[in-house]
């Protein structure tokens, strides 16, 4: 699990849920880096920089593309077009609902898109940009 995913687990999870050991190890290591002055900011110490956010977004988008492809032989360009449409659909409806509350019945695809949006960086939206992402992997 990457640092952004662990931060999401803490921020958006249920208050009563126990955190996985992996999250506690990450937090402890980050606070140690910060308090020992090995990192100039808590954001860097916890690896929550813009680079980490972009990596998390891109990973979530690749996972969304895998869900869309569902094992079918789809060209990367066509897949990027399908993903573009799903992103726009989710942004226009599902994302608005999620901002108000976190529904537990999101599809796997919508869960991936939610992770991508919650990464906190500009979303990749156009087919060409998504194609580059899918072919650079």
What is the model's pLDDT at position 8?
Answer: 81
Who's near 58: CB < 8 A, 6+ residues apart?
124, 133
Are 119 and 100 part of one and the same domain?
Answer: yes
Are 74 and 15 part of one and the same domain?
Answer: no
User: Look-up: residue for tokens 């640092």?
Assistant: 3
What is the model's pLDDT at position 15?
Answer: 80
For the chain, what is the largest distance between any 2 Cα atoms, rounded to a whole number of angstroms?
51
User: Number of structural domains, the chain?
Assistant: 2
Host domain of residue 24: 1-48
Are 64 and 26 part of one and the same domain?
Answer: no
Are 63 and 116 part of one and the same domain?
Answer: yes
Q: Inter-axis angle of helices 3-12 and 50-69, to 10 degrees?
A: 90
What is the model's pLDDT at position 99?
Answer: 65
Are 125 and 95 part of one and the same domain?
Answer: yes
What is the model's pLDDT at position 14?
Answer: 78
For the chain, residues with pLDDT lower than 70 are: 96, 99-104, 137
**Distances 9 to 13, 24, 62 between C-alpha atoms, Å:** 5, 11, 20
User: Look-up: residue for tokens 């990027």?
Assistant: 80
Are 72 and 119 part of one and the same domain?
Answer: yes
Are 20 and 87 part of one and the same domain?
Answer: no
Are 34 and 85 part of one and the same domain?
Answer: no
């Amino acid at each position: 699990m990457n640092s952004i995913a662990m931060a999401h687990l803490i921020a958006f999870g249920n208050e009563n849920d126990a955190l996985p050991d992996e999250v506690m190890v990450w937090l402890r290591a980050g606070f140690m880096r910060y308090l020992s002055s090995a990192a100039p900011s808590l954001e860097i110490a916890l690896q929550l920089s813009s680079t980490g956010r972009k990596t998390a977004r891109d990973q979530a988008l690749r996972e969304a593309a895998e869900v869309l492809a569902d094992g079918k032989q789809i060209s990367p360009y066509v897949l990027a077009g399908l993903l573009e449409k799903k992103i726009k659909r989710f942004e226009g409806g599902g994302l608005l609902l999620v901002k108000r509350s976190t529904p537990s019945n999101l599809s796997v695809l919508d869960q991936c898109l939610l992770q991508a949006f919650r990464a906190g960086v500009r979303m990749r939206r156009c087919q060409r940009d998504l194609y580059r992402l899918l072919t650079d992997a």
